[in-house]
Amino acid sequence: MQAETALQAGSKLVKRNDIRNVAIIAHVDHGKTTLVDGLLKQSHIFRENQHMGELIMDSNDQERERGITILAKNTAIDYRDVKINIIDTPGHADFGGEVERVLNMADGCILLIDAAEGPMPQTRFVLQKALELNLQPIVVVNKIDRKDARIDYVLEETQDLFLELATADSHLDFPVLYAIGRDGVAMYNPDDERKDLQPLFDTIVKTVPAPNVEIDASFQMMVTALDYDDYKGKYAIGRIIRGRIAPNTPVARISREGEVSRQKINLVLSYKGLGRTEVDEAVAGDIIALTGIADANIGETLADIDNPEALPVLEISEPTLKMTFGVNTSPFSGREGKFSTSRQLRARLYRELETNVSLRVVDGNTPDEFVVSGRGELHLSVLIETLRREGYELQVSRPEVITREDENGHLQEPVEHLVIDTKDSYMGVLTEALAVRKAQLTNMTNDGSGNIRIEYDIPTRGLIGFRNAFLTLTKGNGAMSSLLKGFVPWMGKINSARMGALVASELGTAVTYGLGNAQMRGDTFIEPGTPVYEGMIVGLNARPDDLVVNICKEKQKTNIRSSTSDISVRLTPPILMSLEQSLDFINNDELVEVTPKNIRLRKRYLTQHERSRARSRENDQ
């Protein structure tokens, strides 16, 4: 690669005017991936007759189904002899670790803000991380075509956020553009003609600093991402900090613990559009993928073999929630999955640590259990869903918060800043529900047209299970998001508002008559014909206590003729819960059984006798 060089006086630094490295950051659902779609399509990297669809960068199945970005990804486009490396990042707070690990590859950032919602909790988080790395920001107010757009208000809120977070005067000197990402247009002013994304392309080239690098120094690169394919093996992805690298070159791999091992680079690949192309050489400032280093891990340094200097270790925020993953011990174990042993589950969880930098895994109290810690319920549920789709059978416990002790030995727990946007008619029920969960109101704004934004400080454990309650209370007319704020002294017990469970009394198949009797006592979760076992949760009791029911019981036959209305049983449709809803539903004495085909709720102890003994032990303690 030929880089245009401009040697600065008295320095070995070289300015790479042929390249720009920029990250796109924002709160969830503010339009990052859709904007990247437009940038890719308008850079003409695809053939004229090539149909790429929408959300091109969200290639993961779960990303498309959930409508969110889970993994940070790289792409590159050419614009007027300048290569623009674009890093698409997740917007959900649970995947903040993905943002933290890739921002150091960029020199600038595009901060996307919804023209109606304005800055949200994750907006603050990603902007703070970007400014800590001294990235040059570009603000894009997106979705200005929304009927409820508040462009002036949102811009004012954004400026206040920069004043609060900026650590240098240069951070306050940022350009502002206005965009409709879905239509692929950007403007310098909201009233300008809406043509294309050229204003954004021009602003990136003009505003994002060209990398100042040492090309002739010894090689050094941080591994910030990994990828794999069956033909070339593992890819170690990162930005070259200094020096140059060519195929078939020996390098030193320096682990996070400082251990140095000799490795050999096979291929050097550069990004172009959605693909990678082999190159003869890459130099400092390039974002590349290297093959040949089978045991590379995120956060490690690749360096010159004769001068193995390690880069600062990548610091990632600690997890706040933990769950116990275990081998499936139900009577249906081994029927529906390919991998059901503790050895297989353990190997898969520890393999996940290579790419999932926010995750922590430790062995549990028994050989069949593993404590998995993550950044939130969604972070952990995505992992569970991934394992399920890969053919694993497992059972998982209710999420628990990770506490810590201060210097005086006092217990502390994580607290989050919760932001809710909804109709003002739901204010009363939300206030009541959040008060029980130890939430404290910090701010409330009303736009005058029936929409309100309420902000709370709430312990993380108070948020467990709240998302489903929130959707029910607001009838789906609301949005909520939260961000870890810090740790505070333990705020006391939070009482569970859930009723008791309907628990199956025997192994068999659910029948209409048995379910009809169960529905007289509460709501059911299964349909007739569903296989059940003793201890499986089949519904929600109308009373606080658990109730054992026989849903396999059939109506006794007699020689007395009955009318059709007498023998027919009309059932209420069952409540079918998703994985996230199941995790929110269970109590501490319950588990979620996850297999490739089914998600079941069960008691930790399956028989009535075992449950009675467990309660006795708790009372004795």
366 labeled part of a ligand binding site: no
142 is in an annotated binding site: yes
Q: Which residues contact 339 (CB under 8 A, 6 or more apart)?
A: 345, 348, 390, 391, 392, 393
CA gap 86, 366 in Å, rounded: 45
For residues 174 and 168, is the Cβ–Cβ distance under 8 A? no
Helix axes 151-165, 121-132, angle to 10 degrees: 40
Beta strands in 98-159 (DSSP E): 108-114, 136-142
CA angle centred on 361, ends 356 and 365, rounded to 5°: 165
What span, in angstroms and rounded, lies between the C-alpha atoms of 222 and 315? 13
Rounded to whole angstroms, the Cα distance separating 600 from 504 reads 12
Is residue 140 within 8 Å of residue 177, measured between CB atoms? Answer: yes
Strand residues in 315-438 grouped as ranges (E): 321-326, 360-363, 369-374, 394-396, 400-401, 404-405, 411-423
145 is in an annotated binding site: yes
Nearest to 520 by CA among 572, 567, 585: 572
Strand, coil or helix: what is 348?
A: helix
Distance from CA of residue 613 to its chain's centroid? 39
On whether 558 is known to bind a ligand per the annotation, the reply is no
DSSP 481-527: EEEEEEEEE-----------EEEE-SSEE--HHHHHHHHTTEEE---
143 appears as a binding residue in the annotation: yes
DSSP E strand boundaries for 519-598: 522-524, 531-532, 536-541, 547-549, 590-594
Annotated binding residue 196: no
Contact (Cβ atoms closer than 8 angstroms) between residue 140 and residue 35: yes
Going by the annotation, the residues of the binding site are 29-34, 142-145
Going by the annotation, the residues of the binding site for GTP are 29-34, 142-145
